[in-house]
């Protein structure tokens, strides 16, 4: 009964807010429906049962037949569907539904239709956003001048600096140690964690000084290369490119600093058992399930959130700034455009009423609807203060914040626009987002000088050429990084490694990205 009352209250509040914010709903005089593909994360509730989508149908009069594909199998199924060019949906929904190369390739083939005129005529919210933010319009515009997808924008969650280091302050206090600021000090601290019964249970052999997840996005140690020059990529398959001086792109894994970093990290940390070798093979689920016992057994971990290893021992940890290298300097990685994506929602050529579908999509870009899509429905996850501002309803006991909002809304993945001015004026950042923002501001921002290559939509010709060489370049680079960090040998194998990268197309790879970066981001 309480659940039913909550849904009724949420519906009433949403409808009243919608009525106050915009006229023209519902969008149709008689029920209409579309078939959409949606990529579903493990945390997501069933889209057919989400309160947000039920409320949206009540508001718009448009029913969605969801073709739900789980995250783990999404790319394979999506690629097969597009390649076959049959049984297509009316549209692809969400931030990860299509890649930038998909937009160009299938846009040029006519499978995805241009949205420029539809936005101009039927999407006042999106049109206003693009007029106010030319950077967003530039990001979603393909080389042929067409827009094949609406944007995703969420500037309340500070993803510009993804990776953070958390250290066990309880262990530091127990062993009488200071928080390290240099790699040399860090080695001494991890050695003490390894040898001196840091967790105080009487067994000096059950501590893991440091854990990480190789190429596991923010859980990787790619940022540590910044102590030798540039920070390197955190996630598997990324470009390994940073923006150097005067806009010249740098492929980090062929720099002398990278070579030095591989040698140093192996000799001073991995070879001595100070960083867990299991990090090279464990999956995300295994990584996140660590440190759940009665006594903490991990000294340092890499993360996005302080609770990435659960909340059991979260209070024992505090952030640590990037460590200074042998020359007394360091750099940390940043992705200034990580709060935005060119992939929000696309319409296919089988859609019989693209104008109506565009009007439906435009509803998401009303700030209040964006808020509910991302943070949860009013009345369930969000409280209306009655004065034009909003706040968060407490997370139920036994649930995490993400579990709470992912259950009733398409959190983090929907076609939305929550710009930085919305947070603070309309709603504060969530506790988790604020904590992330504060960590980045207080510990990382001043070191964030390794700027990862920003998003770009490449031409079909450049995409085709990259497809011939990129996989081999990235796979070889990442294979050798794992080898050198875990087993050493970088000095003996370096020249052959660089020569092989040149043989398989590194110069062409860099020329394509440099030319496109100069054309789209030089100013």
Cα–Cα distance, 496 to 466 (Å, whole number):
23
* Residue 45, domain member (yes or no): yes
Six-digit token pair at 11? 């519906």
Determine the pLDDT at residue 423: 87
Average pLDDT over residues 127-146: 94
pLDDT at 263 over 60: yes
pLDDT at 280 over 70: yes
Determine the pLDDT at residue 452: 95
Cα–Cα distance, 57 to 66 (Å, whole number):
13
Determine the pLDDT at residue 16: 45
Six-digit token pair at 165? 């280091």
**Residue 6: band (very low, low, confident or very high) from pLDDT cuts 50, 70, 90:** very low
Residues 346 and 281 in one domain: no
Residues 258 and 182 in one domain: yes
Residue 364 and residue 370 in contact, taking contact as beta carbons nearer than 8 Å: yes
Determine the pLDDT at residue 338: 77
* Residue that finishes a domain, picked among 438, 468, 485: 438
Number of compact structural domains in the chain: 2
Average pLDDT over residues 77-85: 96
* Residue 4, domain member (yes or no): no
Cα–Cα distance, 470 to 505 (Å, whole number):
8
Residues 189 and 140 in one domain: no
Q: Give 26-61 pLDDT, tens digit per residue.
A: 999 999 999 999 999 988 999 999 999 999 999 999
* Residue 128, domain member (yes or no): yes
* Residue 131, domain member (yes or no): yes
Average pLDDT over residues 404-426: 91
> What CATH number does residue 300 fall under?
3.40.190.10
Residues 373 and 316 in one domain: no
Residues 303 and 260 in one domain: yes
**Residue 399: band (very low, low, confident or very high) from pLDDT cuts 50, 70, 90:** confident
pTM higher than the cut 0.75: yes
Which are the contacts of 522, defined by CB distance < 8 A and separation ≥ 6? Answer: 247
**Residue 520: band (very low, low, confident or very high) from pLDDT cuts 50, 70, 90:** confident
Residues 56 and 190 in one domain: no
Q: Give 12-27 pLDDT, tens digit per residue.
A: 444 444 444 457 899 9
Residue 307 belongs to domain spanning: 164-331+458-521
Residues 144 and 284 in one domain: no
SS3 308: coil
Cα–Cα distance, 438 to 162 (Å, whole number):
13
Determine the pLDDT at residue 523: 55
Average pLDDT over residues 206-226: 96
Residues 349 and 324 in one domain: no
Average pLDDT over residues 355-383: 97
pLDDT at 159 over 90: no
Determine the pLDDT at residue 237: 82
In what helix (H) or strand (E) does residue 425 lie, and over which residues does it extend?
helix 422-425
Six-digit token pair at 102? 């998909």
pLDDT at 1 over 60: no
Determine the pLDDT at residue 522: 64
- Range name among 69-83, 97-111, 176-190, 424-438 with the lowest pLDDT average: 424-438
pLDDT at 9 over 70: no
* Residue 445, domain member (yes or no): no
Give the angle 59-62-64 at the CA atoms, nearest 5°. Answer: 120
Cα–Cα distance, 443 to 321 (Å, whole number):
5
* Residue that finishes a domain, picked among 438, 470, 497: 438
Q: Give 282-314 pLDDT, tens digit per residue.
A: 998 899 899 999 999 999 999 998 888 988 999
Determine the pLDDT at residue 521: 78
Going by DSSP bridges, is the β-strand pair 32-40/317-320 parallel, antiparallel, or unpaired?
A: unpaired
* Residue 291, domain member (yes or no): yes
- pLDDT above 70 as % of the chain: 95
pLDDT at 147 over 50: yes
Cα-trace Rg, the chain: 24
Residues 249 and 323 in one domain: yes
Residues 225 and 291 in one domain: yes
Determine the pLDDT at residue 11: 44
Q: Give 440-459 pLDDT, tens digit per residue.
A: 999 999 999 999 998 889 99
Residues 153 and 178 in one domain: no
Residues 84 and 150 in one domain: yes
Instruction: Residue 149: name the closest of 176, 122, 115 by CA.
Output: 115
The answer to whether the Cα torsion of 469, 473, 476, 479 is positive or negative is negative
**Strand order across the 450-452 sheet:** 249-251, 241-243, 450-452, 333-334
* Residue 20, domain member (yes or no): no
* Residue 1, domain member (yes or no): no
Give the angle 211-301-447 at the CA atoms, nearest 5°. Answer: 125
Mean pLDDT (the chain) is: 92
Going by DSSP bridges, is the β-strand pair 91-93/32-40 parallel, antiparallel, or unpaired?
A: parallel
């Amino acid at each position: 009964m309480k659940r039913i009352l909550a849904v009724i209250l949420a519906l009433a509040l949403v409808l009243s807010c919608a009525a106050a914010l915009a006229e023209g709903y519902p969008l149709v005089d008689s029920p209409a429906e579309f078939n959409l593909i949606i990529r579903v994360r493990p945390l997501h509730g069933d889209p057919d049962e989400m309160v947000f989508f039920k409320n949206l149908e009540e508001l718009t009069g448009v029913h969605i037949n969801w073709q739900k594909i789980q995250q783990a199998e999404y790319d394979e199924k999506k690629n097969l569907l597009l390649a076959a060019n049959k049984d297509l949906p009316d549209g692809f929904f969400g931030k990860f539904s299509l890649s930038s190369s998909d937009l160009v390739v299938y846009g040029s083939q006519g499978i995805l239709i241009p949205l420029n005129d539809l936005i101009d005529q039927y999407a006042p919210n999106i049109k206003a956003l693009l007029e106010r933010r030319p950077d967003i319009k530039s990001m979603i515009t393909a080389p042929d001048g067409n827009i094949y997808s609406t944007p995703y924008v969420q500037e309340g969650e500070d993803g510009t600096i993804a990776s953070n280091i958390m250290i066990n302050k309880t262990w530091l206090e127990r062993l009488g140690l200071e928080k390290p600021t240099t790699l040399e000090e860090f080695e001494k601290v991890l050695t003490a964690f390894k040898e001196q019964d840091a967790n105080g249970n009487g067994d000096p052999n059950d501590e893991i000084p440091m854990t990480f997840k190789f190429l596991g996005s923010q859980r990787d140690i790619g940022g540590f290369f910044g102590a030798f020059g540039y920070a390197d990529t955190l996630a598997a398959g990324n470009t390994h490119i940073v923006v150097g001086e005067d806009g010249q792109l740098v492929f980090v894994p062929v720099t002398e600093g990278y070579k030095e970093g591989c040698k140093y990290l192996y000799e001073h940390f991995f070879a001595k058992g100070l960083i867990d070798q299991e990090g090279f093979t464990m999956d995300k689920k295994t990584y996140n399930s660590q440190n759940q016992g009665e006594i903490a057994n991990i000294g340092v971990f890499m993360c996005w959130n302080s609770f990435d290893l659960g909340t059991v021992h979260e209070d024992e940890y505090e952030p640590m700034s990037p460590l200074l290298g042998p020359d007394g300097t360091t750099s940390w990685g940043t992705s200034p455009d990580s709060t935005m994506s060119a992939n929000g929602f696309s319409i296919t050529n089988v859609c019989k009423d693209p104008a109506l579908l565009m009007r439906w999509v435009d509803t998401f870009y009303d700030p209040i609807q964006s808020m509910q899509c991302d943070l949860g429905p009013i009345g369930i996850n969000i409280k209306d203060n009655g004065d034009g501002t909003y706040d968060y309803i407490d997370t139920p006991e036994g649930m995490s914040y993400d579990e709470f909002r992912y259950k009733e809304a398409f959190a983090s993945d929907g076609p939305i626009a929550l710009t930085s001015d919305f947070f603070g004026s309309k709603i504060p950042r969530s506790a988790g987002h604020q904590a992330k923002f504060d960590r980045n501001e207080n510990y990382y921002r001043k070191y964030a000088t390794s700027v990862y290559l920003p998003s770009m939509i490449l031409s079909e010709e450049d995409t085709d050429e990259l497809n011939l060489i990129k996989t081999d370049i990235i796979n070889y680079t990442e294979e050798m990084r794992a080898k050198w960090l875990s087993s050493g040998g970088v000095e003996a194998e370096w020249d052959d490694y660089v020569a092989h990268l040149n043989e398989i197309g590194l110069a062409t790879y860099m020329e394509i990205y440099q030319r496109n970066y100069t054309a789209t981001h030089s100013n």
